[in-house]
């Protein structure tokens, strides 16, 4: 389990020109070819092994959080929802531990609102979402507001490095 604070998250990591070119290019896609790093290197003017070494460094430094296929949880046939809770400040750390202990909780964010805990539930079996919500309410004693998406208008954003 990661319990990373946004304050301690790496910021302003020194990126040189080729690093920025790689981060920007690879947000758009990665070739499905036998030697994809060589193709990427051709685009940005680096050798194949140099691309691999730089990517390893960017992942280690936390500039990139993931590299590979991004799977769409719903299309995998599972259940997915966004849920929110209003947690009293004094109980926040206890409730965070209880909620995070559920393996179905994929992400959990603290937000500055009276709805102050927001988490994504992703389950292999679609029916499991409702049961997990009931179990979280039982474990924490706090109401969970289920906010599954009704329609998606846009997902994706490229951050300029």
Partner 1 sequence: MSTPVLDDIDRRIVVATQDGLELVREPYRAVARRVGIDEAEVRRRLAAMQARGVIRRIGAVPNHYALGYLANGMTVWDVPDDRVRELGRRLGGLGFVSHCYHRPRHLPDWPFNLFAMVHGRDRATVQGHVAGMAALMEDVERGHRVLYSTRILKKTGLRLAA
Of 79-98, which residues contact partner 1 (CB under 8 A)?
82, 84, 96
Which DSSP helix (H) or strand (E) runs through 124? Answer: none
133 counts as binding partner 1 under rule CB under 8 A: no
How far, in whole angstroms, is CA 73 from its chain's centroid?
A: 12
113 counts as binding partner 1 under rule CB under 8 A: yes
- Smallest distance from partner 1 to CB 21, Å: 12
Of 132, 147, 124, 122, residue with least CA distance to 77: 124
139 counts as binding partner 1 under rule CB under 8 A: no
Within residues 37-56, the interface with partner 1 by CB under 8 A covers 37-38, 48-49, 52, 55-56
5 counts as binding partner 1 under rule CB under 8 A: yes
Q: What is the dihedral of CA 59, 154, 28, 61, to 10 degrees?
A: -10
Q: What is the dihedral of CA 19, 21, 22, 24, to 10 degrees?
A: 120
Among 10, 17, 127, 141, binds partner 1 (CB under 8 A): 10
């Amino acid at each position: 389990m990661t319990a990373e604070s946004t304050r301690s998250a790496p910021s302003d990591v020194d990126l040189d020109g080729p690093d920025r070119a790689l981060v920007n290019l690879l947000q758009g896609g990665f070739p499905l070819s036998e030697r994809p790093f060589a193709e990427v290197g051709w685009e940005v003017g680096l050798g194949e092994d140099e691309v691999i070494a730089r990517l390893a460094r960017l992942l280690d430094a936390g500039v990139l959080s993931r590299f590979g296929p991004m799977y769409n949880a719903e299309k995998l046939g599972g259940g997915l929802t966004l849920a929110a809770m209003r947690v009293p400040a004094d109980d926040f750390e206890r409730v965070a531990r209880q909620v995070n202990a559920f393996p179905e909780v994929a992400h959990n964010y603290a937000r500055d609102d009276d709805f102050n805990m927001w988490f994504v539930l992703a389950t292999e079996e679609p029916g499991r979402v409702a049961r997990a919500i009931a179990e979280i309410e039982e474990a924490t004693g706090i109401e969970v507001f289920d906010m599954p998406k009704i329609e998606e208008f846009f997902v994706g954003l490229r951050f300029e490095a």
